[in-house]
Chains A and B, each alone.
Chain A
Amino acid sequence: MQPELRGFVIDGASRHSIQKGFLLLKADLQLAEEEKCALVLNRAAQRLAGESSLAGYAIKGSRLHPACLRLETPFLPVYTVAQRDLFVQRLAKASSILLQCTRERQCVLAVAGVNPYCKEAEEQPQALCSDIHLVEVYDEGEIERIYNLYRQFLPELLAISTHSAVYGGEVQGYASLRMKVNPRSYLPHYIAQYSTRQLANLREMVRKEHGLEDLNQMDINPLVNENILHQPQHSLLTNTTAAIALRFIDAQCSFPFIRAQIILLQALAMYGRMLARKGRRLWHMHDEIIDENKALALQRGPTAVLKPAKGLKSGEEYSFHQQGQPQTATTALLMSFEGRVLTERLRRLSCESWELLPIFGGAQLRRQGLSCFANYAEYQQYLCNTQKEQFTMLLQKQTTQLLSSSFFDIISEYNTELHEAEMQQIEEQWTERLQNRHRESVPSGQHSGLPARRRV
């Protein structure tokens, strides 16, 4: 008898970290001053340090604006449902601590790309709040493929992640006002030949050809802790690891929604990883098409109609571009993940259908032409338009509810309430799709005891 191998994934996921963004506001819903922010930060940091389950978590201020706070998680495994449960629960717990510290100082916490309650003195909002997702990478080959793959999917992911449609109590003309006005947002350019030895050259080339001084300011930053890869025998699973950072996602208020985002990002990373290990490259998609689709996405959000790139060649279908037809962003995302390539990655993540419902539920309903919310920018707009007088009070209340729970998702609730049968059907379809038909050598076993389905 020998130790048993219960299951394996050949090209699996990696650890994930998130820098969750918050806006600290005073009681009058204006941005808090530096002193108040420092007080809240210190208190929250103390409380976090006292929680053994939150070792490695940190709350920091932003260099760009004192009212922007960041809750940073360590790199944590997200390979299984249980691990993702833990990730989200701890994130919610840390957010709750921050929420409590905020209340103790008579402050309010907002979670959106810009302050939805009050405008700032300047013409354009300065306090811009985002969720930065960091996906661990192991070598240069992976960085190149995963980076380019995220780059290709940037418009779809951005469209679904918009959450700054309301600013100062008014609906703006953009689903993501934050991305529109962000001076530190740059289109990620195609990297054909990534090598850590040539980083200086890459930086110089990007500076000369695209006028970008700092590569780290691209919407997708491939250079997080890249110096680690220079070391020949660097250890894995350390606290500091090389990663790719996705900087274009507006701060989200719903943890189930964040969980769904994590799964999608990890699935894409797994595909890129597979390409790297098989020595395959990614087709070059031109800057122009991504730039155009990005502009559409940040303006229209989930309803943006994205244009297909011409001549996208690949042996396997993984993107709506290969169909050659314009699609709304939600449908484009669905089409990509319904394909064999990415569905297989979702299976290998042991993904369960309810985990994807916050994103795919609304996307599928939208494809069927049913009225629904596809993301929180739409919900913001709805709330602002329909509950003008009570918008502030309602949004605050719901934000508190969302931040206090790891499984409460408003838009899933709403969509289910309106279209229960359809949502049920969507969940069943995805359950069917995610069943592991092509099992690798995995003997059956029992779950850890956590419920397999989590209905909101």
Chain B
Amino acid sequence: MIEQHNHTIQVICDLRDTTFAIEEPKQVDQLWNRIAPLLIGQKPVIGQPLRAKLGKNESVALWVVDNRQLVRITRATTFAIVDILRQPTVRYQCRACKALGNLVYGPLQCRECLNDKNLPEGFERLCSIHASFVPGRLDAYCSEHIPHCSCTPTCSYEATFYCDHCNRPFGEHHRHPHPREATGNKWYCYNCRRTLFSPCVACWREGKQESLGKLSCAYITQATKNPCDVWLCREHAQQWKIWGPHHEGITLCEEHKKRLRATSLSDVLTMMILARPPQGRYFRLTNAFRLRRILNRNRDQDLTLEEIASALQQLAPAATTWGRRAQTLYAEIKQAIARALEKQIILLKEVKAFYQKEAGNLVAEDIANLTIVDRFLTEDAHTEQIIIDLYLTSDEAGQYIGRNHNRIKQLKQHFNFIAVKLYDIRGGTPLLLE
């Protein structure tokens, strides 16, 4: 502790230009014994250092805090040291400085080196000269791990900012300011700026230039590869509702909504699979019959499950390039369609067996094909109710209908069919429509 004496000069001992390490009181005494004789005769001025040169390159400075109005230091002068400034103990050494032979404190840690368990402890340490930063973040990096622009996996430009929206690093070539902020405090990558600030194309045409387009048209084909991406406001965006009436659907511009009917089945399925579904409960596309209903909504001629299966098969090469979610959905839809087709086959056999039993072999043999038109579940979801089309190789429907429609009633009751339509497969002529 420092006691205030009448003629005691208070000083701060500055050892930062030396290699002295002071940890114990006796080291202070030893140091003092060396420097004290060198102070005699010097003039203590408040705020100025007294110097004691100890070697070629080592000099101790004693900054005078209070000189007690003494003019000159004599042998009788007493001192009190109020603080000893010195080089801090370096527990964590900058590895770059270490390689150069310098012992420098490394307060910063390379984020990537820190996460690498194979590196020795302390290897991640850097000083402020050797650490690199991406402006806006305090994560430090060594020269080998400076983040690169994430616009593409192979972009070699160093990152110079983090997008304020997606929080990914980007290089200077991707820097875009906020359209209304002149101060330049917010920066966005190209995609985020487009997502956030693209104007609605339709509003723009109408002269309303302030309107932002928050939705983009998702229309895509095998030929175009990329979605339409026209940006629209909620007023001008069309919704293709595939997930149920209570959710938004796939956004399409007016032009592509009209073109949807003429779009190939593969392209339509691609759009449905790639579109991100809403949160919460919604109508799943993995219900084969619901899927077909949606697909048939805009068509003059209804699709069969076989046609859908075929279209899905055509998508197999493209599906390998999709993300995991889309690939999973694609596989599930294929399975659902396959199960539906299998069910058709089983149902055909069972219907044939029914007629064989009721009307004989010849009648059963004339049943060529069966198509499940649609399927519903009862409210308790336990019972299926099915609509079928039955294709015959004869135009004589009498044996299938029965007197007073008894046989067809039995068929419907037995298999829980809601409706049965009979067709002559040779011409597609309907024989019985219900």
Contacts and interface: CB of A to CB of B under 8 A. Distances in A.
Interface of A: 1-14, 77, 79-83, 138, 140-141, 144, 192-198, 200-202, 204-205, 207-208, 235-238, 273, 276-280, 347-350, 436, 439-442, 445-450
B32 A7 contact: no
B378 interface: no
Contacts of A446: 5-6
Contacts of A138: 85
A250 to B, nearest CB: 30
A3 B28 contact: no
Given A81-B4, A278-B89, A11 B83 contact: yes
Interface of B: 1-6, 8, 10, 12-14, 22, 25-26, 28-29, 32-33, 36-37, 39-40, 46-47, 49, 63-66, 73-86, 88-92, 105, 107-109, 128-129, 131, 133, 135-138, 140, 164, 185
B107 A195 contact: yes
Nearest to A205: B138
Contacts of A237: 12, 46-47, 63-65
A83 B3 CA distance: 10
A448 B6 contact: yes
B128 A7 contact: no
A440 B28 CA distance: 10
Given A5-B29, A79-B65, A279 B88 contact: yes
Given A3-B39, A201-B133, A237-B65, A193 B89 contact: no
Minimum-distance CB pairs A-B, first 4 = A12-B83, A279-B91, A8-B81, A195-B128
Contacts of A7: 1-3, 80-81
19 contacts: A2-B36, A3-B39, A3-B77, A5-B28, A5-B29, A5-B32, A5-B81, A8-B25, A8-B28, A144-B107, A195-B107, A197-B129, A236-B14, A237-B65, A273-B83, A277-B86, A277-B89, A350-B3, A445-B5
A346 B219 CA distance: 74
A276 B128 CA distance: 16
B78 A3 contact: yes
B2 A198 contact: no
B78 A350 contact: no
Contacts of B25: 8, 10, 440-441
Contacts of B8: 6, 445
Given A10-B28, A348-B1, A441-B26, A4 B82 contact: no
A449 B26 CA distance: 30
Contact of B88 (A77, A141, A235): A141
Contacts of A14: 83
Given A5-B36, A10-B22, A195-B107, 16 more contacts: A4-B78, A5-B32, A6-B8, A12-B84, A77-B10, A80-B2, A80-B4, A198-B131, A201-B133, A204-B136, A278-B88, A349-B1, A436-B1, A441-B28, A445-B8, A447-B3
Contact of A201 (B29, B88, B138): B138
A237 B62 CA distance: 11
Given A205-B138, A441-B29, A8 B5 contact: no
Nearest to B128: A195
